[in-house]
Structure 1
Amino acid sequence: MSTPAWPPSSCQWARQAISAQLDDELSEIGTARLRHHLRTCAECSAYAQEAAAVTTRMRMAPLVLPDARIASPRPRRRRRAPVTAAAAVLVVSGGLLALSNVWGRPGSSRPEAAATVQVLAGLRAGGSDGLFVPTAFPQAAPRIREIAL
């Protein structure tokens, strides 16, 4: 058989309530509940009297100031160099990537130049006259020569 916990849970609550009452933080309902418990529990009643006496002595004691000034520790500076360097590398890399996409491809910024390259890719030299004919329609080459000349 296990032994009951000491103090009982009602006494634990009462001791916390005694502290709250001494600090004027206990509600009216809590104060009524505490008074009832203190009337029925001699140990908590003795604890309440002792806690009240200690609190009164502490509040009446003179404030003692230290002889020397105590310096508080200086806040440590956080080093941001690694984070800043990583951010700078990302920004520069992104900028270079963007520039390479704009300037790296021939005609990417001029759509008409890209269209010309595509048209010329589908033509072949037709002969000594220097005309180009479409590779997909070689039968049209004589007609193109007639029109061009």
Structure 2
Amino acid sequence: MKKADFYILADSDEDARRHFLCKLLQRILHANYCVYIYCTDQYSAEKLSDLLWQFSATSFLANKLVTDSHIAPISIGWPEKHQPPHHDVIVNLSEQIPSGAEDFTRIAEIVIQQEASLKGSRERYKKYRDAGFVIKHNDMRSKTNPG
């Protein structure tokens, strides 16, 4: 069964979105899933990769760009290099639904309180619903951990 999780954050800035993403990735990896992150472009993917390697002073999130040959539990792609190495979990950080998204076990969308983000997430929500996804709405505005 196809599932889409929408995580609604209280914050309106991209830094909060990236911080939440790191926490969510830890949780997903702890459950022994691989993750494919779909970014808007190569620059965003490279910046995200750097962030994940430096996530905190005591830990990192091993990852690779899809153009790299090494193996990592987190792969990061973008429209011109959309080559998911698996179909466990996809985190969509773009405004479009990635092609092949329906092949993944689960899709995660992280929504911040910016009008463009809210509008885009509503549109993707409708498309996922119309495509038969089971949708879970995770209101993180009063929580501190991803869930």
Q: Normalising by structure 2, what TM-score?
A: 0.20
Structure number with higher strand proportion: 2
Which is bigger in relative contact order (C-alpha 8 A, separation at least 6)? 2
Q: Normalising by structure 1, what TM-score?
A: 0.20
- Return the index of the structure with the highest Cα Rg: 1
Structure number with higher helix proportion: 1
